[in-house]
């Protein structure tokens, strides 16, 4: 047991174990955290020292932390702390559905918030807590169901005690306990005060529902956040505000790694309207002002002598001669067999014996996250040294540890808030100089005032870490019937995981660099997938569907090239290569059926346009996908009319949210294949805003037709999986329509008007 003492001398104790605990009676701390009086609160233990630290700091006015997970209020309201952050993927609703299912309470009435850091919220079965990798539902499913089931059992016990009736005679209907024999019933809110003193039952004593009895899981439950998001009521990090706050803007060094020599016009910018102070940071100049617009104008006015850094292998430095064009050539010229990531049979022998050998070089491009909310952070040092900070993040505990280390503040003295995300797509992991929060912390320290720092869109595009670029050399061997007997793919690239770590993967292969080249289900008897490590000076990142976002494009378009060389229809070839794989042949048939049957074209549509269709598949994040795209040409550019996509995540929680995720991931995949490429010249990005880095606009959005296939296989992810099959389906259609083989993205770099 741990102790916490408030300023009035009340002693309150929190248990230290990690099983759910009834903490309803810890009133002082609960009340200060906004928990309603008389609420049933299930929580988890706090470490001893943490609780003591909180007790001490509570006296100085910093807000307390309460390990409350699920709160059932006397008015019947239910508040859930979600271990996963909401950024558009619908996870707050899915969590409410999962807990509500076992609690027997309507999830649409839940109040859901993002839980603070703390190991008690590490509910994922893989021992992590991140919002990413399309993992939240599939890895949090059982733990969240159990919390709901335990709370329901306690409410049953409270009712049993009230009525003097055995628990076994009672049951529940949404939001209330009922005794069928007598017709008596009590609402959860009425029972909550009576459950406050009960011990949480042993986790093994509750039985989870039979899926056949599900009331909400598997149904298109309305999202809990839609009304607030339709009326501007959601507070993102960029909207946060505290009393006494100043605002900051930066001008980053034009190339990563450079440092500030001198600000030539410092006196001038200090004299600009509203400017509070000017600061030199690591690789940036910052201006602090009462209002952000004044800070931004002053920051961009600064004339800075930037200096080249001293050699430091531990830091990334963007050299002046770096360009994406020359880097692509550098990757293409890299020689060697690379490190094997996946191998079967004997690719070399099979190629020697093949009737036809196809050699081809494919490539991917750097892309930006381009989430609509520019990164920001609000840092506030309280008088007792506690650092309270708001920042966009996909992994609160990792961020807290990083801030503690880099700011030199004890982790127990940091209160970290994770507001909802204005889009993320992988943008909000730990990216060193790619995150603004340390700048905000430094400025708050330097000024003694709370600081909200916002990166302008231009500063964001200068420091946004990117999805890697890769050049893949394929060799394919066909037999006399045109069937692939060998496939080799050697990807020259630096993967995102090793890029973020700034250290080559110890396994010699970064799985996140090659996924999507590896893990393909096609029965090609001899194959070898390898990575040829080539370091880049650019900052790298995870981007929605990570390696799959480029590799399924590379593989699936080369597979169509093989099909064409072998005189095979690409759909029929895939069916043949998946023979005996019931799950995937069914999925491929499902997408064809959704599209009204497979037809490759070209054909003339009702509007007179010439169109063709392409097909592609992917196996990302535990799910399986198949997509068909229909395209035509318009003024030399590609128009995508329809995307049909079948997704098999095994089993599901919310089909309406899945439909929305299929539409959204498809849109991002289309944006990548049609339009996006971050181009560097002379060590600097050519685009600093959406004018030069176009993202998919509404008039390029096709109709998206989704079919969810529940094969009953192990539950897979949903946020990322509908992306990877989209770009190759489009490119394959375009190759067929134009007769021009597409081996790189985006399609906007091609002129098809000839």
Q: For the segment 303-332, give every residue that binds another protein (CB under 8 A).
A: none
Instruction: Name which of residues 342 to 361 contact another protein (CB under 8 A).
Output: none
> What character string, x for contact with another protein (CB under 8 A) and - otherwise, covers 218-257?
----xxxxxxxxxxxxxxx-xx-x-----x----------
Residue among 45 and 419 whose Cβ is closer to another protein:
419
Phi, psi for 178 (deg, rounded to 5):
-130, 150
Which parts of 279-308 interact with another protein (CB under 8 A)? 291-293
Cis before residue 699, ω within 30 degrees of 0?
A: no
* CB-CB contact of 516 with 555 (8 Å): yes
Nearer to another protein, 379 or 588 (CB): 379
Whether residue 121 contacts residue 129, with contact meaning beta carbons closer than 8 Å, is answered with: yes
Distances (CA, A) of 239 to 63, 114, 421, 572, 713: 20, 16, 11, 53, 42
CA torsion through residues 273, 274, 276, 277, sign: negative
Determine, following the binding rule CB under 8 A, whether residue 340 of this chain makes contact with another protein. Answer: no
Nearer to another protein, 428 or 574 (CB): 428
DSSP state string for 324-388: HHHHHHHHHH--S--EEEEEES-HHHHHHT-SEEEEEEEE---B----SS--EEEEEE-TTSPEE
Please give the biggest Cα pair distance in the chain: 87
Identify the CA nearest to 418 among candidates 445, 388, 441: 388
Closest of 188, 177, 176 to residue 71, by C-alpha: 188
Identify the DSSP state of 580.
T
Residues 120-159 that bind another protein (CB under 8 A): none
Query: By the 8 A CB rule, do 401 and 411 touch?
Result: yes
Binding-site size, another protein (CB under 8 A): 74
Is 424 a residue that touches another protein (CB under 8 A)?
yes
Q: Measured between alpha carbons, how far is 746 from 754 in angstroms, rounded to an integer?
A: 18
Q: Does 372 bind another protein (CB under 8 A)?
A: yes
Pick one of 109, 504, 610, 639: the residue that binds another protein (CB under 8 A).
109
Torsion, Cα 107 108 114 115, to 10 degrees, reads -30
Q: CB under 8 A: which stretch of 327-335, 343-351, 451-459, 709-717 binds another protein?
A: 451-459
> In angstroms, what is the C-alpha Rg of the chain?
28
431 vs 415: CA distance, rounded Å: 20
Q: Is 38 in the site for another protein (CB under 8 A)?
A: no
* Whole-number Å distance between alpha carbons of 181 and 493: 69
CA distance 746 to 678: 10
Smallest distance from the beta carbon of 394 to another protein, in angstroms? 13
Q: Of 373 and 564, which CB lies nearer to another protein in the complex structure?
A: 373
Cβ 150 to another protein, closest distance in Å? 23
Task: Enumerate residues 662-701 that contact another protein by CB under 8 A.
Answer: 663-668, 689-691, 695-699, 701
* Helix runs in 108-221, H state only: 136-163, 188-195
Q: Is 419 in the site for another protein (CB under 8 A)?
A: yes
Between 31 and 226, name the residue whose CB sits nearer to another protein. 226
Q: By CB under 8 A, tell whether 100 contacts another protein.
A: no
Binding of residue 48 to another protein (CB under 8 A): no
CB 377 within 8 A of CB 440: yes
Please answer whether residues 48 and 13 qualify as being in contact, where contact means their C-beta atoms are separated by less than 8 angstroms.
no
Please identify which residue in 4, 21, 89, 251 interacts with another protein, judged by CB under 8 A.
89
Distance CA 747, CA 701 (A): 15
- The residue among 189, 152, 171, 219 whose CA lies nearest residue 78 is 189
Q: Interface mask (CB under 8 A) for another protein, residues 638-667, using x and -?
A: ------------------x---x--xxxxx
Q: Which is nearer to another protein, 458 or 511 (CB)?
A: 458
**CB 699 to another protein: min, Å:** 6
Structure tokens, 296 = 């931004």
Is residue 480 near another protein by the rule CB under 8 A? no
Q: Contact between 703 and another protein (CB under 8 A)?
A: yes
State yes or no: residue 90 binds another protein (CB under 8 A): yes
Give the nearer residue to another protein in terms of CB position, either 116 or 419.
Answer: 419
Nearer to another protein, 104 or 113 (CB): 113
Closest approach, Cβ 743 to another protein, in A, equals 26
**Using CB under 8 A, which of the segments 81-89, 438-446, 518-526, 678-686 binds another protein?**
81-89
- Asked if 394 is part of the footprint of another protein (rule: CB under 8 A), the reply reads no
Q: Quote helix, strand, coil % in the chain, to nearest 5.
A: 30, 25, 45
Q: Which span (125-133, 370-378, 400-408, 708-716) binds another protein, by CB under 8 A?
A: 370-378
750 is a site residue for another protein (CB under 8 A):
no
| 704: contact with another protein by CB under 8 A | yes
| Neighbour count for residue 67 (Cβ, 10 Å) | 28
Region of 650 on the Ramachandran plot (φ > 0 left; ψ -120 to 50 alpha; else beta): left
Give the length of the chain.
754
Give me the least distance between CB of 693 and another protein, in Å please: 10
Q: What is the smallest separation between the CB atom of 226 and another protein, expressed in angstroms?
A: 5
Q: Tell me which of 47, 309, 423, 482 binds another protein, using CB under 8 A.
A: 423
Site of tokens 């169109």: 611
Shortest distance, position 384 Cβ to another protein, whole Å: 26
Which CB atom, from 147 or from 706, has the smaller least distance to another protein?
706
Nearer to another protein, 588 or 618 (CB): 618
Among the listed residues 20, 45, 67, 88, the single contact to another protein using CB under 8 A? 88
Helix (H, G, I), strand (E, B) or coil at 496: helix
**Rounded least distance, CB 164 to another protein, Å:** 30
Instruction: Verify binding: residue 111, another protein, rule CB under 8 A.
Output: yes
**CB-nearer residue toward another protein: 227 or 603:** 227
What is the C-alpha to C-alpha distance for residues 746 and 276, in angstroms, rounded to an integer? 44
Spatial separation of the C-alpha atoms in residues 101 and 750, rounded to whole Å: 51
For residue 241, the minimal CB distance to another protein (Å) is 7
Backbone angles phi, psi at 732, to 5 degrees: -65, -40
Stretch that binds another protein, among 6-14, 80-88, 305-313, 340-348 (CB under 8 A): 80-88
User: Taking CB under 8 A as the criterion, which residues in 163-222 touch another protein?
Assistant: 222
Please report how close the Cβ of residue 469 comes to another protein at its closest, in angstroms: 21
Q: Which of 438/665 has CB closer to another protein?
A: 665
Q: Considering only residues 457, 586, 686, 741, which one is a binding residue for another protein as defined by CB under 8 A? A: 457
Within positions 509 to 568, which residues make up the interface with another protein, using CB under 8 A?
A: none
């Amino acid at each position: 047991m741990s102790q916490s003492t408030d300023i009035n001398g009340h002693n309150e104790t929190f248990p230290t174990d990690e099983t759910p605990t009834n903490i309803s009676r810890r009133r002082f701390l609960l009340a200060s955290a906004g928990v309603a009086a008389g609420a049933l609160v299930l929580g988890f233990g706090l470490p001893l020292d943490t609780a003591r630290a909180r007790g001490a700091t509570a006296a100085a006015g910093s807000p307390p932390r309460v390990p409350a997970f699920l709160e059932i209020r006397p008015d019947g309201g239910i508040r859930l702390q979600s271990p996963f952050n909401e950024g558009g993927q619908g996870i707050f609703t899915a969590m409410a559905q999962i807990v509500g299912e076992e609690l027997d309470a309507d999830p649409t009435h839940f109040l859901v918030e993002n839980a603070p850091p703390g190991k008690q919220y590490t509910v994922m079965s893989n021992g992590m807590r991140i919002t990413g990798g399309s993992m939240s539902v599939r890895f949090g499913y059982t733990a969240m169901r159990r919390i709901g089931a335990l709370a329901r059992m306690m409410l049953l016990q409270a009712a049993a005690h009230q009525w003097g009736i055995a628990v076994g005679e009672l049951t529940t209907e949404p939001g209330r306990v009922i005794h069928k024999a007598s017709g008596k019933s009590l609402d959860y809110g009425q029972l909550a005060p009576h459950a406050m003193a009960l011990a949480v039952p042993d986790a093994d004593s509750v039985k989870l529902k039979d899926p056949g009895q599900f009331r909400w899981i598997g149904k298109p439950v309305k999202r809990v956040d839609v009304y607030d998001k339709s009326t501007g009521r959601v507070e993102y990090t960029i909207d946060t505000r505290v009393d006494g706050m100043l605002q900051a803007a930066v001008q980053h060094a034009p190339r990563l790694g450079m440092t500030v020599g001198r600000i030539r016009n410092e006196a001038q910018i200090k004299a600009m309207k509203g400017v509070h102070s000017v600061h030199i940071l690591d690789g940036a100049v910052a201006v602090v002002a009462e209002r952000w617009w004044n800070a931004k104008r002053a920051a961009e006015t600064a004339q800075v002598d930037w200096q080249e850094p001293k050699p430091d292998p531990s830091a990334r430095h963007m050299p002046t001669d770096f360009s994406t064009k020359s880097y692509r050539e550098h990757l293409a010229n890299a020689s060697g067999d690379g490190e094997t990531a996946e191998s079967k049979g004997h690719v070399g022998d099979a190629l020697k014996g093949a009737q036809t050998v196809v050699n081809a070089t494919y490539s991917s491009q750097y892309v930006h996250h381009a989430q609509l909310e520019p990164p920001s952070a609000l840092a506030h040092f309280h008088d007792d040294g506690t650092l309270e900070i708001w920042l966009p993040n996909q992994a609160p505990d990792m961020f807290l540890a990083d801030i503690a280390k880099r700011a030199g503040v004890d982790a127990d003295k940091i209160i970290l808030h994770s507001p909802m995300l204005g889009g993320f797509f992988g943008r909000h992991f730990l990216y060193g100089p790619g995150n603004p929060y340390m700048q905000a912390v430094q400025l708050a320290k330097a000024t003694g005032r709370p600081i909200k720092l916002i990166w302008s869109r231009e500063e964001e595009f200068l420091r946004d870490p990117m999805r890697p670029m890769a050049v893949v050399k394929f060799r394919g061997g066909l037999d006399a019937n045109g069937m692939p007997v060998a496939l080799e793919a050697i990807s020259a690239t630096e993967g995102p995981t090793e890029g973020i770590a700034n250290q080559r993967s110890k396994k010699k292969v970064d799985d996140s660099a090659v996924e999507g080249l590896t893990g393909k289900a096609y029965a090609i008897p001899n194959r070898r997938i390898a990575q040829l490590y080539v370091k880049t000076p650019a900052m790298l990142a995870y981007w929605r569907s990570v390696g799959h976002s480029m590799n399924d494009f590379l593989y699936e378009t080369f597979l169509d090239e093989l099909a064409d060389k072998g005189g095979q229809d690409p759909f029929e070839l895939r069916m043949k290569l998946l023979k005996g794989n019931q799950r995937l042949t069914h999925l491929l048939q499902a997408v064809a059926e959704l599209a009204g049957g497979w037809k490759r074209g070209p054909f003339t549509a009702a509007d007179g346009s010439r169109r063709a269709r392409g097909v592609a598949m992917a196996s990302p994040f535990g799910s399986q996908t198949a997509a068909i795209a229909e395209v035509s040409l318009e003024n030399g550019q590609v128009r995508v009319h329809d995307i049909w996509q079948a997704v098999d995540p095994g089993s599901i929680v919310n089909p309406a949210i899945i439909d929305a995720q299929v539409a959204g991931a498809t849109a991002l995949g289309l944006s990548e294949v049609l339009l996006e490429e971050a181009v560097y010249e002379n060590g600097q990005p050519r685009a600093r805003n959406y004018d030069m880095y176009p993202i998919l606009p509404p008039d390029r959005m096709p109709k998206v037709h989704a079919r969810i296939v529940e094969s009953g296989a192990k539950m897979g992810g949903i946020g990322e999986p509908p992306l990877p099959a989209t770009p190759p389906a489009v490119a394959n259609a375009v190759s067929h329509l134009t007769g021009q083989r597409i081996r790189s993205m985006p399609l906007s770099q091609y002129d098809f008007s000839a």
